[in-house]
Every structure is written in structure tokens, then in C-alpha cells.
Amino acid sequence: MGEATKYFVVKQKAIPEVLLKVVEAKRLLESEKVLTIQEAVDAVGISRSSFYKYKDDIFPFHDNSQGTTITLTFQMDDEPGILSDVLKIIAEYRANILTIHQSIPINGIASLTLSIQVLQTTGDISRMIEQLEGQTSVHHVKILAKE
């Protein structure tokens, strides 16, 4: 029997440039900014063989997350309104919050675990996580699970 497929969530800065260019070439094709694979690979500066080698194995996180549940963990300051700000961002992206668990703050830092359901109407999850990480009182956001 073959080995089961494994998936990893990796931040963009850790991905080799060729894989990012494959994603960009696919985006150009899907948006019809180019009509052929040759035009797409020429535009991003990779070979056709690189495109074909990786095209089915790399895609933006959001493209493969619809209909799933994602569990996120946060470390954030214990200040009034921070949880509200986090929940507001999730609501803006139209994700469905399934569970919320916040621990008792220790040394002014609270731990929060959220499970969210990604719907067809949900915006780009990668951007949502970036926006959550960008909050001044949020120190850390990590994807714990994707089901």
C-alpha cells in the first residue's frame, strides 16, 4: 500500500520560490490574465516542467479549506476588548465560530482557543490569520488543527 498523503501548513516565507511561482502561474491561468500554460510560466519565470511537477501539490491555504473546521490558538494581552476585536475580525471574514475557550490570564497573558468553520462565503483564511496576527495585543496565532 502507498503512504497516506500528509498535509502541512507552512508560512509563505518558508516556501521555496519555485513553488510560489507555480501558485502565481495557476492564479494567472484561473483569472484568465494568460491563456496558456506557456504564457503563465513565461510570466513568472519558471519552466513548464516545474509547473507540471508541482501544480497539483501546492495551493493557497484558503483554496483547500472550505467546508473544514480550523482550530486556532492565540496568546494575547489580558486587556478589555481584545477578545471582541478578534471575534470581530473572524465575523468580517464570515467564518462560523464553533467553540471559544479562554484560559485564566497568567502574568497578563491570556490563552485563547477558537474552532471556526470555513464556509463557502468565508473570505481568505490566510488573510484573516494575518490580520489577527497583526493586532497589537495579539502575540501569537497558531493553527492547531484542520479537520
* Pairwise CA distance, residues 86 & 89, whole Å: 5
Q: Which residues of 23-40 are buried (b: 16+ CB within 10 A; e: fewer)?
A: bbbbbbbeeeebeebeeb
pLDDT tens-digit map of 51-104? 999 988 887 765 555 578 889 999 999 999 999 999 999 999 999 999 999 999
pLDDT the model gives residue 65: 55
DSSP-assigned beta bridge partners for residue 140: 75
The matching CATH number, chosen from 3.40.250.10, 3.40.605.10, 3.30.70.260, 3.40.50.720, for 64-146 is 3.30.70.260
> CB count, 10 Å around CB of 61?
18
pLDDT the model gives residue 64: 52
Mean of pLDDT over the chain = 87
Task: For residue 39, name the pLDDT band (cuts at 50, 70, 90).
Answer: very high
Which residues of the chain does CATH 3.30.70.260 include? 64-146
Share of the chain above pLDDT 90, in %: 54
